[in-house]
Chain A
Amino acid sequence: MSAPARQSADVSLLREDPATLVHALRAGSPVAAGVLYDRSAKRVHGLLFRMLGPDGELEDLVQETFMELFASLHRLRDPLALDGWVASIAVMVACKRLQRRRLRWWLSFLPQEDVPEPEPVHLDTTAGETLRQCWKALDQLEPRQRLALVLRHLEGMRLEEGAQALDVSLATFKRLLAKGEARFRDASTRFPALREWLEGAS
């Protein structure tokens, strides 16, 4: 087999087999690091966007996720759980970000419903206003309640997957989710467009 063909085959293996990819990452392969980025960056970006909403630092947070990911890979026991591991790191990064936002709000002495968005981003879609209200309502939740709600309802994760991504027990995840749902509904009463969506849903 020619050399380029063999190279392609080996890179394909990294792309297709998570166990090989994890092995190569642990061994410090720079090629494997690139493969992991190609495989997961778009998903991480989407996940962070749904968890955090418009955020001018979204791309920085993708970078932060990968840095954390490389640093923590030695703790991943089952290489086949790589995708779940990536999600859990992204969730951790999002959680830190939300905590920073709350700290900023706390330091600013603003009322809780006025937690400022990090950077107002114009949503150029017909549902833009409803979404903006949706994230405003999510801002009223404790970070972990918010993440539980997003992972379950916006990311479509099963309860077990959500618990794993949030690194909590299933029971804790259910509790966070229930509180998050209740608080989200309560907060939505202040946002007409969002309330309309929710009422239409129920």
Chain B
Amino acid sequence: MTSLDDFSKRARRAMDDAQPAFDEAAGRRRLLAALPAGKKGAALRWWLGVGAVAAAALLAVVGAWRTRSGEYVVATQSAVTVPFEEGSSAVVSPGSELRIEARTPDGARVEVLRGRVDVAVTHRPRTDWHVRAGPWDVAVTGTTLSVEWHPAERRVEVAVFEGVVEVRRADGPTTTVRALERFDSRVGLIRPQPALPSPPRPAPEPTPAQRAPEWLSPSVIAFDAGPGDRPPPGPRARPWVELEVAGRYLEALDAVRAAGSLKVLAKAVPDELLAIARAARFAGDGALATEALLTTRRRFTGSSQAAMAAFLLAREARGDEAVSWLQRYLAEEPDGALTREAAGRLLEALMQAGRYAEARTAATSYLARFPTGPHAPYARSLTEEP
């Protein structure tokens, strides 16, 4: 012990007593208010990367949790489901942020600040539902869709699963997007690609659940029952399938539970399992969604649906677990519909897991295969890091 130790204790106590008052709240407000208005400095560059929208939203965080309008939802590790009084719901994907500007008896006004939000809007006579993303406004009148906003690229993607929406930019033209179409602000309206070739084995007539948009998930369409499994029953025998397709997720889930979740999962065919996982996810039952996906993996090993389940499980996971699921998807579907997406997300997951060297290697592979892919700038930044 040095002779300064006793002095240190005494001085420390005296300094604690002498420390001037610190108004944390004022400091917080000042810091946040200064950021978007600043014009120089490395810190501001960081913030400008986030975008003025996010910075402005930060100001709204204070107290926003307590109010109904101006509510702020951030999903970090798992998806967050937000129910609305008029029956609609929104699912905020991990890593995404949503601001709810207003809830009304006929709808809501929400803003996607970052990432992806899936919205299932219940149709009403005077539905007034709007999803904003940057300068874009999506008017919804009863449909199921996803809106993805990339602030750094100022890019919006709207995918419509059911119904019709109108996408418009302030002072710009309006684009009508119908079921199975999507809108990308970089390229405009994208219609579904022609149907894929028939699967190797003859498949029965698809149930409504299998009529997913081709550009999203051809593997879901290509029904491939495992050995020993019964052919898919008609929709009436599986009421949750119809309900899920109609976007009535809570009712679909109730139907599954009424029939006995474990029993249903044990007997369901692959696409049905994916439909249950989807309904459970949208209805906020993450545990059942995960169980349905794991069951798909277990019971239908080697199928395209099992690969899809791996991709979806990665979406709910992070770090090493996400890496593992994405690697499995890529191994099982090296040329799948979501291979590019999975390869991109793998970079993010590896960085999240702190596996920087592997992330750089994966980034090099990504750039070699998808030089103009959506994750290319990110991959480039990883390969250029010292």
Contacts and interface: CB of A to CB of B under 8 A. Distances in A.
A13 B58 contact: no
Contact of B75 (A10, A32, A42, A123): A10
Interface residues of B, number: 66
Interface string B1-27: 011111110111011111110111001
A28 B54 contact: yes
A7 interface: yes
Contacts of A29: 54, 74, 76, 97, 114
B15 A70 contact: no
A158 B327 CA distance: 42
B237 interface: no
A82 interface: no
A24 B18 contact: no
Interface in A112-143: 121, 123-125, 127-128, 130-131, 134
Given A3-B73, A49-B20, A156-B8, A8 B47 contact: no
B120 to A, nearest CB: 14
Contacts of A77: 354, 356
Contacts of B51: 28
B170 interface: no
B143 interface: no
B258 interface: no
A128 to B, nearest CB: 7
Interface string B68-95: 0001111111101111000000000001
Interface in A1-44: 1-4, 6-8, 10-11, 13-14, 19-20, 23-24, 27-34, 37-38, 41-42
Contacts of B8: 153-154, 156
Nearest to A5: B80
B114 A28 contact: yes
Nearest to A128: B18
Nearest to A63: B31
Contact of B354 (A3, A54, A67, A78): A78
Nearest to B83: A3
Interface in A168-198: 181, 197-198
B27 A63 contact: yes
- Max chain B C-beta neighbours (<10 A), residue from A32, A70, A156, A198: A70
6 contacts: A67-B43, A77-B354, A153-B5, A181-B2, A197-B10, A201-B6
Interface of A: 1-4, 6-8, 10-11, 13-14, 19-20, 23-24, 27-34, 37-38, 41-42, 45-46, 49-50, 54, 58-59, 62-63, 66-73, 77-79, 121, 123-125, 127-128, 130-131, 134, 153-154, 156, 181, 197-198, 200-202
